[in-house]
Amino acid sequence: MPVSTNDLRNGMTLDLPDGLFSVVEFQHVKPGKGGAFVRTKLRNVRTGAVLERTYRADEKLEQAIIDKREMQYLYRDGPSYVFMDNSSYEQMNVTTESLGDAASYLKEGDSAVLQMHGDEIVGVDLPAAVELSVAATDPGLQGDRVSGARKPATLETGRVVQVPLFVNPGDRIKVDTRSGEYITRA
């Protein structure tokens, strides 16, 4: 679907010859001499690489239609994750590569919004924080309360995060899905 560069918005996804790109930022520039143009910063949806492009004002670009589907993670099937569409109840196998970093925050029964372009997954929206159990970590020692001291903890999904010394195996903790950092005990 063609869209004018004058109508660009942050977060809009464009289908350019080099691939799918999300608009990070844009600026309309009207110099005193010559035609107006639009300076953009675009992020490659698949690789995350950011590039800057300049377009003439009112130049037509192809807008990608991204279908956001709420899906529930059911179980692991070998190398793939099995999701169920919450509206149609269809099941779908998703590779670890398609999920990217989101795979280390998902446990069975969790919901996520999968961003689809055709049949390809181009992004995963998770809640801002998730609750996970600590599978393994060194036990905290009595009197070992150095302010701000951290230790590594392996979570039930296999992800390793830095936690305060008082966190023990079996504790449930909240983890920020954007930064991957410990927030608080749940």
Average pLDDT over residues 91-106: 84
Q: Which residues contact 135 (CB under 8 A, 6 or more apart)?
A: 154, 155, 156, 169
Number of alpha carbons in the 13 Å side-chain half-sphere of residue 113: 8
Tell whether 118 and 136 lie within a shared domain.
no
Tell whether 135 and 177 lie within a shared domain.
yes
Tell whether 115 and 164 lie within a shared domain.
no
Report CA-CA distances (Å) from 155 to 101, 105, 108, 163, 182.
Answer: 14, 9, 14, 11, 11
CATH number at residue 44: 2.30.30.30
Tell whether 158 and 109 lie within a shared domain.
no
End-to-end CA distance of the chain: 45
- What domain count does the chain have? 3
Tell whether 102 and 140 lie within a shared domain.
no
Tell whether 87 and 121 lie within a shared domain.
yes
Report the alpha-carbon distance of residue 56 to residue 143 in Å, rounded.
65
CATH number at residue 177: 2.40.50.140
Mean pLDDT across the chain, nearest whole number? 86
Report the alpha-carbon distance of residue 47 to residue 126 in Å, rounded.
19
- pLDDT tens for each residue of 116-132: 888 888 888 888 888 88
Ramachandran region, residue 85 (left: φ > 0; alpha: ψ -120 to 50; beta: rest): beta
Pick from 33-37, 40-44, 68-72, 121-125: least confident: 121-125
Which percentage of the chain shows pLDDT scores above 90?
A: 11
Last residue of one domain, picked from the residues 46, 62, 78: 62
Last residue of one domain, picked from the residues 18, 43, 62: 62
Tell whether 46 and 16 lie within a shared domain.
yes
Tell whether 113 and 143 lie within a shared domain.
no
Q: Which amino acid is at 3?
A: V
Number of alpha carbons in the 13 Å side-chain half-sphere of residue 100: 15
Last residue of one domain, picked from the residues 107, 125, 143: 125
Assign 95 a pLDDT band (cuts: 50, 70, 90). confident
Tell whether 49 and 16 lie within a shared domain.
yes
- Domain range for residue 27? 2-62
